[in-house]
Chain A
Amino acid sequence: EVQLAESGGGLVQPGGSLRLSCVGSGFSISRSWMHWVRQVPGKGLTWVARVLSDGTTTNYADSVKGRFTISRDNAKNTVYLQMNTLRADDTAVYYCAREDIVLVPGSFAVWGQGTMATVSS
């Protein structure tokens, strides 16, 4: 079964850092574009970042540019989101998602269960 599993969320003070991880199982992430999408509890979905198959091409939402870094380790079948200089409005559930650029380009057909990041003093 194709699955994604996030970890690394928690409570952090404003200005602090968190590193989220997302491990894939049942498939190799190496040929997929991988994303992070977040959702403030009770609110809508917001795309955060993506990393392409080559591992060096990345894109970010304006709200996190310069503070967040997405990366991947294909050998570990894992994607990361390093979040620095965190603010209260970064508080959200963070989902990892897979974009299969061959079968369903542009869409997120596989999602993890989400990990909650709370930024508060």
Chain B
Amino acid sequence: DIQMTQSPSSLSASIGATVTITCQASQDIGKYLSWYQQKPGSAPKLLIHGASNLEAGVPSRFSGSGSGTNFTFTISSLQPEDFATYYCQQYENLYTFGQGTQLEIK
């Protein structure tokens, strides 16, 4: 089974700041990685697929990069609506989610 290690588990940041979340796979997954945003009481929302491809309608302040085992997810110029929990997910071999990163307002 492929394990996904996401860090940090939580972070706080100010409106307008830039934040980065990392995700490490236990084996090479190429670019088979997605990122999701989840707000309390709601289903997850797909933001990025193929490690760096922005899903339609998602603001360009969200971006992703990486391949193999190391991936990053960046939000530039944080907006109030961005405070949520973020998950990475691999789909090279079935599907595994990272444990999530809770982003809070500083």
Contacts and interface: CB of A to CB of B under 8 A. Distances in A.
A48 to B, nearest CB: 9
A45 B100 contact: yes
A95 interface: yes
A44 interface: yes
Chain A binding surface SS class: loop
B34 interface: yes
B96 interface: yes
A113 B45 CA distance: 11
Given A106-B49, A107-B34, A107-B49, A46 B94 contact: no
Contacts of A113: 42-43
B99 interface: yes
A104 B46 contact: yes
Contacts of A114: 43
Contacts of A62: 1
Contact of A109 (B38, B55, B97): B55
Contact of A47 (B55, B94, B99): B94
B87 A107 contact: no
B46 A108 contact: yes
A104 B44 contact: no
B80 to A, nearest CB: 23
B55 A46 contact: no
Interface string A75-114: 0000000000000000000010000000011111101111
Interface of A: 35, 44-47, 50, 59, 61-62, 95, 104-109, 111-114
5 contacts: A35-B95, A95-B43, A105-B91, A112-B43, A113-B43
Given A44-B100, A45-B38, 4 more contacts: A50-B95, A106-B34, A109-B55, A114-B43
Interface of B: 1, 32, 34, 36, 38, 42-46, 49, 55, 87, 89, 91, 94-100
Interchain residue pairs A-B with the least CB separation, the first 8: A106-B91, A111-B43, A47-B95, A107-B49, A107-B34, A45-B97, A44-B100, A109-B46
